[in-house]
Amino acid sequence: ADSGYTAWLSYPVLPQGNAYNQYVKWCGAVKVAEENDTVQAALQEWQRGIESMLGIKVSSKPDGLCIAIGTFQGGNELISGVFAEDTLAKVGPEGFAIRSSEENDCIAVGASSPAGVLYGVFHLLRLIGSLQSIEGLDEVVNPVNGLRMINHWDNFDGSVERGYSGRSFLYEDNRFTRDLERIRDYARLMSSAGINAIAINNVNVHALETLFISKYLPDVSRIADVFRLYGIKLFLSVNFAGPMHEGEVGTADPLDPEVRKWWQSKAAEIYAAIPDFGGFVVKADSENRPGPFTYGRDHADGANMLAEALEPFGGIVIWRCFVYNCKQDWRDRKTDRARAAYDHFKPLDGKFNDNVILQIKNGPMDFQVREPVSPLFGALERTNQVIEFQIAQEYTGQQRHVCYLVPQWKEIMEFNTYAKGEASPVKHIVDGSLWGNRYSGIAAVSNVGNDKNWTGHLLAQANLYGYGRLAWNPELTAEQIASEWISLTFGTDPVVSGVISRILLDSWEIYESYTAPLGVGWMINPEHHYGPNVDGYEYSQWGTYHYADHRGIGVDRTVKTGTGYSAQYLGSNAEHYDSLEECPDELLLFFHHVPYTHILHSGKTVIQHIYDAHFEGAERAAELLSMWTSLKDKVAEGLYLQVENRLKEQAGHAKEWRDQINTYFYRKSGIEDNSERVIY
């Protein structure tokens, strides 16, 4: 347990007291009537959790109070006795109902599907693990988002693109793992957080991975079997040029009948092996991946061709919108990478088949610590869409720095697009309610690897857990999610909870303040993206510039004098961002090029803000470490040390960031820090 492997399913022993007594009273016995594998998995989880948290044995022969678990049709008379007809009607395909019934001597967890049973059991375990009352429960809980997906960027050779937690636990040396136990534990973790879809291979599909839909199908199918137990559908990333790659067709032109036939028969083969296969994830015409552009076709042609192949089997195509010119000339100030997704996909709105979902990164660039929300949210009125977050901390400290991302995701989900009147937040586009989409939801790039604790930094587990919880219910607050995760991982000591909560909740702001000021981004080392390098991407082909000179800094994305990106937003958002006066400070340099002496809403000049933020940020990073050390005797030693080590590195590294950024801008601007601190 000291390694972090059991994560938020550690089931720490609960303290004696009223809550404990209440749990013991009800949880001594459990009644399950179904043989279904998923229901049985739920039962096992229940026993494991209760026995560990309460230190009691759970009997399966109730006489007296008990917990009843099962589907509504599963033949458990306790379940059918407890729930009224109208309750049943409210429970969706993945939802559950839970009711404490004194007259029936039981607390019943009922659902319409086995997966719902599992979610219900995890819910009840979570209540107990965070010392909440289980008496008087009477609720129906349904997930808000249909698709709650994880994307792995794992490669068959065992490497993980942007992986910061060791190697892959899915593959090693071009073989599928034989450690199905670990896959099962992973599925348990994911299901307990509410995840129902996982794409197991990198969106950059290399040569051997292209064969996952053919030669390696039996291996894929073994993973799908494990996922299925936990209500998770398996997806694969596919190579758009697959038909050529396998040498069977000479082209990948989506309008070529041979190509269409090829994909159709592939789909049939896949579904013969994996009847509940989820579908394809596709990165096309992006960063040198093949796609429909080669044949003069558009992305609707490409996506629809695949969609047609999957439709008869109920499969879906998740088509990524991360399409931009990655061979830009840095001298050219007209081309703007931020515009690209909108420019490519807005004109195609309404042209995609019903089983295509566009997957849109949360921001217009690429998972920076601060970006505006992608203007595609709000612009696509007749297209299924999911938002893509990155749990992996590619640009937010690579799981060596702590950066709890749930507050960032919350902010994005709450962003008002004005797409359909005053209240059109991203979360209502994402959950499908704003436009009434057939499919919708959330996807995110995984942050797990084969490190014993899954995520490298133990505190990065909070992002994985938090992502799932937020995908299930975007109304949960970042504080609630943090506090759940802390109890389930470390136990219920309020002192521990208070400290870790603060560390998590402050961490994004702290990371932003010693790295990227005012929305500027990309001041990192090329390729691996770790650590400061102000001009690392300034003269590159990637479209990622800050344009700092001796007078000022920032990208002019206004309509009059800049790239016109600000006009991709709707209503007052467009005006806000376009206006130098109204643009919020934290995004100022994303939208405007200003002199260092420009005065922010905060009253500081831009240059003074840069100095202050970096000095303060590095100081606060050091404080994170001292906060953590106050927990030395309160957290299991193994867990304690893991975090201590990472926070030490962070504190040191934050100083490096501080000094490089401050020195760079001091030398460029020649303007002194008004507090006369040391700048080199």
| For ligand GCW, the closer CB: 322 or 565 | 322
Name which of residues 619 to 658 contact ligand GCW (CB under 6 A). Answer: none
| For ligand GCW, the closer CB: 286 or 489 | 286
**Active-site residue identified among 209, 394, 556, 578:** 394
| For ligand GCW, the closer CB: 161 or 616 | 161
**Active-site residue identified among 366, 388, 451, 612:** 366
Contacts with ligand GCW, 347-366, as mask; x by CB under 6 A: -------------------x
Cα 658 to chain centroid, rounded: 28
- Number of H helices and number of E strands within the chain? 20, 17
Amino acid at 493: D
Q: How far is the CB of 435 from ligand GCW (least distance, A)?
A: 25
Adjacent-strand bridge partners of 594: 553
| For ligand GCW, the closer CB: 394 or 484 | 394
| For ligand GCW, the closer CB: 161 or 509 | 161
| For ligand GCW, the closer CB: 32 or 360 | 360
| For ligand GCW, the closer CB: 109 or 445 | 445
Asked if residues 8 and 461 have their Cβ atoms less than 8 Å apart, the reply is yes
The single residue listed with the structure tokens 């049985």 is 40
Residue nearest to ligand GCW (CB): 366
Amino acid at 527: E
Q: How far is the CB of 574 from ligand GCW (least distance, A)?
A: 26
Asked about 366 being catalytic, the answer comes back as: yes
Q: How far is the CB of 153 from ligand GCW (least distance, A)?
A: 5
Q: For ligand GCW, which residue of 153, 342, 514, 577 counts as binding (CB under 6 A)?
A: 153
- # binding residues, ligand GCW (CB under 6 A): 11
| For ligand GCW, the closer CB: 52 or 362 | 362
**Which distant-in-sequence residues (6+ apart) come within 8 Å of 383 by Cβ?**
345, 348, 349, 350, 352, 356, 358, 437
Q: How far is the CB of 394 from ligand GCW (least distance, A)?
A: 6
**Active-site residue identified among 77, 138, 287, 549:** 287
Please give the backbone phi and psi of residue 376, each rounded to the nearest 5 degrees, phi first: -65, -30
Task: Check residue 236 for interaction with ligand GCW (CB under 6 A).
Answer: no
Name which of residues 369 to 398 contact ligand GCW (CB under 6 A). Answer: 394
Report the 10 Å Cβ neighbour count for 284. Answer: 25
Helices 37-54 + 114-129 axis angle, to 10 = 10
Q: How far is the CB of 201 from ligand GCW (least distance, A)?
A: 11
Please give the backbone phi and psi of residue 97, each rounded to the nearest 5 degrees, phi first: -120, 150
Task: Check residue 209 for interaction with ligand GCW (CB under 6 A).
Answer: no
Report the 10 Å Cβ neighbour count for 440. Answer: 22
| For ligand GCW, the closer CB: 99 or 152 | 152
Q: How far is the CB of 146 from ligand GCW (least distance, A)?
A: 22
Q: How far is the CB of 94 from ligand GCW (least distance, A)?
A: 28
Q: For ligand GCW, which residue of 161, 276, 585, 673 counts as binding (CB under 6 A)?
A: 161
Task: Check residue 162 for interaction with ligand GCW (CB under 6 A).
Answer: yes
Q: How far is the CB of 279 from ligand GCW (least distance, A)?
A: 18
* CA atoms within 13 A of residue 454's CA, in its CB half-sphere: 26
Q: How far is the CB of 268 from ligand GCW (least distance, A)?
A: 29
Asked about 354 being catalytic, the answer comes back as: no
| For ligand GCW, the closer CB: 199 or 482 | 199
Task: Check residue 473 for interaction with ligand GCW (CB under 6 A).
Answer: no
Residue 85: DSSP 8-state: H
Q: How far apart are CA 409 and CA 474, in angstroms?
A: 9
What is the SS3 assignment for 378-412?
Answer: CCCCCCCEEEEEECCCCCCCCCCCCCCCHHHHHHH
Q: How far is the CB of 361 from ligand GCW (least distance, A)?
A: 7
What is the Cα Rg of the chain in Å? Answer: 26
Q: How far is the CB of 370 from ligand GCW (least distance, A)?
A: 15
| For ligand GCW, the closer CB: 8 or 171 | 171
Asked if residues 260 and 310 have their Cβ atoms less than 8 Å apart, the reply is no
What is the total residue count of the chain?
680
| For ligand GCW, the closer CB: 29 or 520 | 520
> Could you please report the per-residue DSSP string of 395-459?
TTTTTTS----HHHHHHHHH-B--BTBS--BHHHHHTSTTTT-SSEEEEEE----SSTTSSSSGG
Strand order in the sheet with 66-71: 30-32, 66-71, 106-111, 96-101, 138-141
The single residue listed with the structure tokens 């020195």 is 663
Q: For ligand GCW, which residue of 123, 152, 260, 283 counts as binding (CB under 6 A)?
A: 283
Q: How far apart are CA 102 and CA 65, in angstroms?
A: 9
Amino acid at 294: T
Task: Check residue 159 for interaction with ligand GCW (CB under 6 A).
Answer: no
Of 495, 503, 501, residue with least CA distance to 634? 495
Q: For ligand GCW, which residue of 97, 198, 203, 403 counts as binding (CB under 6 A)?
A: 203
Report the 10 Å Cβ neighbour count for 25. Answer: 12
Q: How far is the CB of 303 from ligand GCW (least distance, A)?
A: 16
Q: How far is the CB of 204 from ligand GCW (least distance, A)?
A: 5
State how far the alpha carbon of 580 is from the alpha carbons of 338, 545, 559, in Å.
18, 19, 12
Task: Check residue 322 for interaction with ligand GCW (CB under 6 A).
Answer: yes
> Could you please report the per-residue DSSP string of 328-359?
--TT-SS--GGGHHHHHHGGGTT-S-TTEEEE
* CA atoms within 13 A of residue 82's CA, in its CB half-sphere: 32
| For ligand GCW, the closer CB: 151 or 450 | 151
H/E element, 659:
helix 637-669
**Which distant-in-sequence residues (6+ apart) come within 8 Å of 447 by Cβ?**
164, 165, 391, 392, 393, 399, 455, 456, 460, 463, 464
Asked about 414 being catalytic, the answer comes back as: no
Q: For ligand GCW, which residue of 36, 80, 204, 533 counts as binding (CB under 6 A)?
A: 204
Task: Check residue 319 for interaction with ligand GCW (CB under 6 A).
Answer: no
Strands (E), 1-51: 30-32
Q: How far apart are CA 359 and CA 365, in angstroms?
A: 14
Cα 61 to chain centroid, rounded: 41
Residue numbers annotated as active site: 287, 366, 394
Q: Which residues bind ligand GCW (CB under 6 A)?
A: 153, 161-162, 203-204, 283, 287, 322, 366-367, 394
